[in-house]
Structure formats: C-alpha cells, structure tokens
Amino acid sequence: MQMDGSSMIFPSSEALPQSPLPARPKEPHSPERELEQLRWARSRPVCPHCGFRHAYRLEGSQRVRFKCARCRKQYSARRGTVMERSNVPTAGWLTALRLFISAPGAGLPARIERATGVSYKTAWSMVQRMRAAPEDPLILGLRQTTPPPG
C-alpha cells in the first residue's frame, strides 16, 4: 500500500466545483463588515430602539448604518457594544478585542497601544470597557471563533 495517499485523500482542484464569483462588495474585508458579522452572528440586525428585525442598510462614507423599518430610527453595529460612543476606529477595536481575548493578562494596554497606535490612556480605557463587559456581543462573538489560549 502506498503511504503517500495524499492524491487519494484530497480531491484535486479540478474536482472542486467552480463557484461563480459573487458580486464583489466595495470593501470585501472591511472592519465594518467584520463588526457587523460579529455583532449579529447568524441573525439580522436588531433595532436597539424597538427590537424589530428588519432594517435598511445605509452605506455612508465610512460606517454602515441601519435604519429600522418600523420605528425609522438609525443605529450602527457599534450600538450596545464596547465600541459605542468611542472615537477609536473599528479596526483598532477589533485588534484590541482579539488581544483581550487571546492574552488578557498584564501589559494589555501597552500591547493595544503598540498594535493599534492609540495612546496609552485610550488603550487603558478600552481595556476597562472590555473588562467591565464580559457579556458584550462582540466579545462573545469573538470567543466563539477564537480558540482559548494555551
């Protein structure tokens, strides 16, 4: 029996169905998309004002916003998370959240400062927010997709 059975185990690339290219979004890997997917993993956006689950997407220059189809109020994916009312860009927050989940121990503010470019003071306050909100939907969402440390 041949030990190198890789060609038998793994189908060749030719065997894989060639899926048609999906319509290309403007920013395929934008932090805003990632935030949206984390915030409402496996569900539609939920209105923080009335709980309705149908909304219109408003694509602005930087951030995606939603407009509730029932109460007509607008909200962003940051609403109700540690990112709410923060000036730190979404990409910086996502980096900080990953650091918080993978290695929450000593020196976290300094590591966030280095990784994101925010000031130490800002990084420190981000850590306070994350530590105060273990049930934050973004933290819970990231924990589901990140293997535990060690």
Q: Which of 51, 86, 95, 47 is nearest to 67 (CA)?
A: 47
Q: Which of 80, 75, 48 is nearest to 63 (CA)?
A: 75
Kindly state the smallest distance separating residue 77's Cβ from Zn ion, in Å: 15
Per CB under 5 A, the segment of 69-77, 81-89, 122-130, 135-143 that binds Zn ion is 69-77
69 interacts with Zn ion by CB under 5 A:
no
Judged by CB under 5 A, the residue of 31, 41, 52, 125 near Zn ion is: 52
DSSP 1: -
The residue whose two tokens read 């990953």 is 98
Longest dimension (CA), the chain: 68
50 interacts with Zn ion by CB under 5 A:
yes
| Gap between the Cα atoms of 121 and 42, Å rounded | 35
Residue closer to Zn ion by CB (options 68, 142) is 68
49 interacts with Zn ion by CB under 5 A:
yes
Judged by CB under 5 A, the residue of 38, 64, 68, 123 near Zn ion is: 68
71 interacts with Zn ion by CB under 5 A:
yes
Per CB under 5 A, the segment of 52-60, 82-90, 104-112, 135-143 that binds Zn ion is 52-60
Q: Which of 43, 141, 27 is nearest to 93 (CA)?
A: 141
Residues near Zn ion (CB under 5 A) are: 47, 49-50, 52, 68, 70-71
